């Protein structure tokens, strides 16, 4: 496999990141499920593909774009994924801009009657402050849908919704819960975010999920400036999302999970953003695990 110089790697990434996922899934060893046309199977993995988004039901992991899918399916880093896509036969035809309009965002309708059990799950199981959850609900950034999912809206700086993170609150038989994105979500246009202060943020902290964003604010994450914007990238991002460019913050912090994918994404970010500082959860996989470990010591807050 050709080893691309870093500058060419970035250029190649821009060309291949929008490759169609269904042909790519076949190249990665998946076969379409004859009973569900949007599902693809291979040993140990079951993908749902909707446009540029995918979710692995077996691995309880979702993402967006060709690079993310290759990293997930091959368990490799950013460079290896880009080089895999660049070296593939017939990648170029699938990388052309789609002729059809982008997928339409379909946010779930809020169901007020389901809010109390969703709030209670997030408080009791996830260890999140009920007052903070209510504050988000009043702001319109969090609500419950008909399936009793917690819906965290993904917005730009103006508050325009561009998607939503969905977090299930009813455990499956194996104890796991559903995680995914609302159909038509655009992670490059907006994310779930909140601020730790009233002043313009001194830095942006990137985390992998809306639940981690709320957890980092509640801890607060060690080394977090008092005035900081905490933003979820709904998975890992290898560059600062463009929608964050409108926020006047000078510093960039990476709070991705303390695992190989989180560390790989942090290294990729640091190459593009040399001033980046890594905030790695200590003795925990992510900020919500750390919050739950420390829950008895966290005082009540009024938001």
What's the domain count of the chain? 2
Quote the pLDDT of residue 92: 39
What's the average model confidence in pLDDT over 120-133? Answer: 96
Quick one: 147 and 282 in the same domain? yes
Write the CATH number for 158.
Answer: 3.40.1360.10
Domain annotation covers residue 105: no
Quote the pLDDT of residue 258: 93
Domain that holds residue 289: 112-297
Quick one: 57 and 128 in the same domain? no
- What does the pLDDT look like over 68-114, one tens digit per residue? 899 888 888 888 888 888 776 444 334 444 444 567 889 999 999 99
More confident residue, 98 or 65: 65
Quick one: 124 and 37 in the same domain? no
Domain annotation covers residue 265: yes
* Strand duo 203-207 + 228-232: pairing: parallel
- What does the pLDDT look like over 277-297, one tens digit per residue? 999 988 899 999 999 988 653
Quote the pLDDT of residue 96: 41
Quick one: 124 and 242 in the same domain? yes
Highest mean pLDDT among 40-44, 130-134, 183-187, 259-263: 130-134
Window from 13-17, 189-193, 224-228 with minimum mean pLDDT: 13-17
- What does the pLDDT look like over 14-30, one tens digit per residue? 778 788 888 898 888 89
Quick one: 89 and 228 in the same domain? no
What's the average model confidence in pLDDT over 244-268? Answer: 90
Quote the pLDDT of residue 64: 83
Domain annotation covers residue 303: no
Quick one: 162 and 217 in the same domain? yes
Quick one: 63 and 169 in the same domain? no
Question: pTM for the complete prediction?
Answer: 0.67
Cβ(166)–Cβ(159) below 8 Å: no
What's the average model confidence in pLDDT over 120-141? Answer: 96
Domain boundary among 68, 94, 120: 94
What's the average model confidence in pLDDT over 193-207? Answer: 88
What's the average model confidence in pLDDT over 198-223? Answer: 89
Cβ(284)–Cβ(290) below 8 Å: yes
Domain annotation covers residue 160: yes
Quick one: 255 and 132 in the same domain? yes
Domain boundary among 49, 64, 94: 94
Domain annotation covers residue 225: yes
Instruction: Give DSSP secondary structure letters for the chain.
Output: -----HHHHHHHHHHHTT--HHHHHHHTT-EEETTEEEEEEETTEEEEEETTEEEETTTTEEEESHHHHHHHHHT--HHHHHHHHHTSTTHHHHTSPPSSPPPPP-PPPP-GGGHHHHHHHHHHTT---HHHHHHHHHHTSEEE-TT-EEEEEEE-TT--EEEEEEEE-S--TTS---EEE-TT--TTT-B-EEESSSSPPSEEEEESSHHHHHHHHHTTPTT--SSEEEEE-SS--SS--GGGGGS---EEEE---SSHHHHHHHHHHHHH-TT-EE-PPSSSSSHHHHHHHTGGGPPP---
Quick one: 51 and 190 in the same domain? no
- Average pLDDT over all residues of the chain: 85
Quick one: 128 and 241 in the same domain? yes
Domain boundary among 94, 121, 151: 94
Tally Cβ neighbours within 10 Å of residue 188.
18
Give the model's confidence band at 3: pLDDT under 50 very low, under 70 low, under 90 confident, else very high. low
Quick one: 146 and 34 in the same domain? no
Give the model's confidence band at 124: pLDDT under 50 very low, under 70 low, under 90 confident, else very high. very high
For a pLDDT cut of 90, what percent of the chain falls above it?
A: 42
- The CA dihedral of 30, 35, 36, 37, to the nearest 10 degrees, is 70
Quote the pLDDT of residue 102: 63
């Amino acid at each position: 496999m050709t080893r691309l110089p870093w500058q060419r790697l970035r250029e190649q990434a821009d060309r291949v990141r929008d490759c169609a996922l269904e042909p790519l899934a076949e190249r990665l060893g998946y076969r379409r499920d004859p009973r569900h046309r949007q599902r693809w199977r291979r040993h140990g993995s079951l993908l749902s593909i909707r446009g540029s988004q995918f979710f692995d039901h077996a691995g309880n992991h979702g993402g967006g774009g060709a690079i993310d899918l290759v990293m997930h399916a091959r368990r490799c880093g950013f460079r290896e994924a880009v080089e895999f896509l660049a070296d593939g036969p017939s990648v170029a035809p699938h990388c052309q801009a789609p002729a059809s309009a982008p997928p339409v965002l379909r946010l779930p309708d809020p169901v007020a009657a389901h809010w109390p059990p969703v709030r209670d799950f997030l408080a009791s199981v996830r260890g999140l402050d009920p007052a903070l959850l209510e504050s988000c609900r009043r702001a319109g950034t969090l609500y419950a849908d008909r399936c009793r999912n917690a819906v965290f809206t993904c917005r730009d700086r103006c508050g325009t919704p561009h998607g939503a993170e969905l977090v299930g609150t009813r455990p499956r038989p194996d104890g796991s819960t559903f995680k995914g994105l609302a159909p038509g979500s655009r992670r490059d246009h907006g994310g779930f975010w909140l601020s730790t202060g009233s002043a313009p943020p001194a830095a942006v902290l990137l985390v992998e999920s809306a639940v981690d964003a709320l957890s980092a604010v509640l801890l607060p994450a060690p080394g977090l400036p008092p005035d900081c914007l905490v933003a979820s990238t709904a998975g890992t991002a290898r560059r600062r999302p463009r929608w964050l460019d409108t926020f006047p913050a000078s510093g960039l912090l990476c709070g991705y999970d303390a695992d190989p994918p989180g560390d790989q994404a942090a290294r990729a970010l640091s190459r593009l953003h040399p001033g980046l500082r890594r905030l790695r959860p200590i003795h925990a996989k992510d900020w919500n695990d750390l919050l739950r470990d420390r829950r008895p010591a966290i005082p009540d807050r009024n938001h």
